[in-house]
Amino acid sequence: MQKKTFKEIRTILAARTVGIAGAGGLGSNCAVALARVGIGRIITADFDTVSESNLNRQYFFKDQVGMKKVFALKENIARINPEVLVEAFDIMLDPHNIPQVFGNCDLIVEAFDLAEMKIMLAETVLEKMPGRIIIMGSGVAGYGNNDSIKTVKSGNIYICGDQENETCENLPPLAPRVGIVAGMQANLVMEILLG
């Protein structure tokens, strides 16, 4: 383990920008973790609004139901660490806008819900932003089985999760496992940015 004081860590991270694609379960929790350790800038994009059913895992509050997720997230980060610059895009990400939105990011955290969107982001980055690191989440549903959650690496793509448990009626995404994977993504961001 690389040893650095928190002051040294903050100094390095303050100069860095992380893109977070999606501001739901993975994105909101990952963003808050990175904000707490002093990342300089977060660029996040999501088209969705906070709903009651999100509160079992996403970093939002009951009085934020109905708000756009990216603006609610920006508000929450400002309350935790106002020094973090949050650029919030209330848009649906697609192959056309991803290079524009995340072009200046040191790396990109994939924090979508749907597999189709995860694949779209990976394909877009591989094709249009070659070399850029993507930290993905895959396999977060259910509860228990801590040790099944891991990270696999393939070139510039890292995937955190159990790679197995897909969300369905009997396997809901819930705060503990979603939080673990979001935390792993944030932890990997730090590991890569701090060297």
Partner 1 sequence: MQITLNNRKEEFDRNTMTVLELLDEKNFTFRMLVIKINGQLVKKADYGKAIIKDGDDVSVLHLISGG
Q: Does 19 bind partner 1 (CB under 8 A)?
A: no
Write down the residue that tokens 């100069």 correspond to. Answer: 15
Find the radius of gyration of the CA atoms of the chain. 16
Among 35, 73, 105, 122, binds partner 1 (CB under 8 A): 122
Identity (one letter) of the amino acid at 41?
R
Residues written for the chain: 195
Contact 98, 126 (CB under 8 A): no
Nearer to partner 1, 13 or 46 (CB): 46
Q: Does 114 bind partner 1 (CB under 8 A)?
A: yes
* Minimum distance from residue 74 beta carbon to partner 1 (Å): 19
Q: Does 49 bind partner 1 (CB under 8 A)?
A: no
**Residues forming beta bridges with residue 49, ordered by sequence position:** 68
* Minimum distance from residue 102 beta carbon to partner 1 (Å): 17
Instruction: Identify the helix (H) or strand (E) that includes residue 151.
Output: strand 150-154
Among 47, 113, 148, 187, binds partner 1 (CB under 8 A): 113
Q: Considering only 5-13, 42-50, 77-85, 165-173, which stretch makes contact with partner 1 by CB under 8 A?
A: 165-173
Nearer to partner 1, 13 or 125 (CB): 125
Name the burial class of residue 104, with classes exposed (0-12), middle (13-18) and buried (19+) by CB atoms within 10 angstroms of its CB: exposed
> Residue 176 and residue 25: Cα distance in Å, rounded?
10
* Minimum distance from residue 163 beta carbon to partner 1 (Å): 7
Neighbours of 34 (CB within 10 A): 28
Could you tell me the CA-to-CA distances from 117 to 7, 36, 61 in Å, in that order? 37, 27, 26
Nearer to partner 1, 166 or 191 (CB): 166
Q: Does 167 bind partner 1 (CB under 8 A)?
A: yes
Contact residues: partner 1, CB under 8 A: 22, 24-27, 111-116, 118-119, 122-123, 126-127, 136-141, 154-157, 159, 161, 163-167, 173, 178
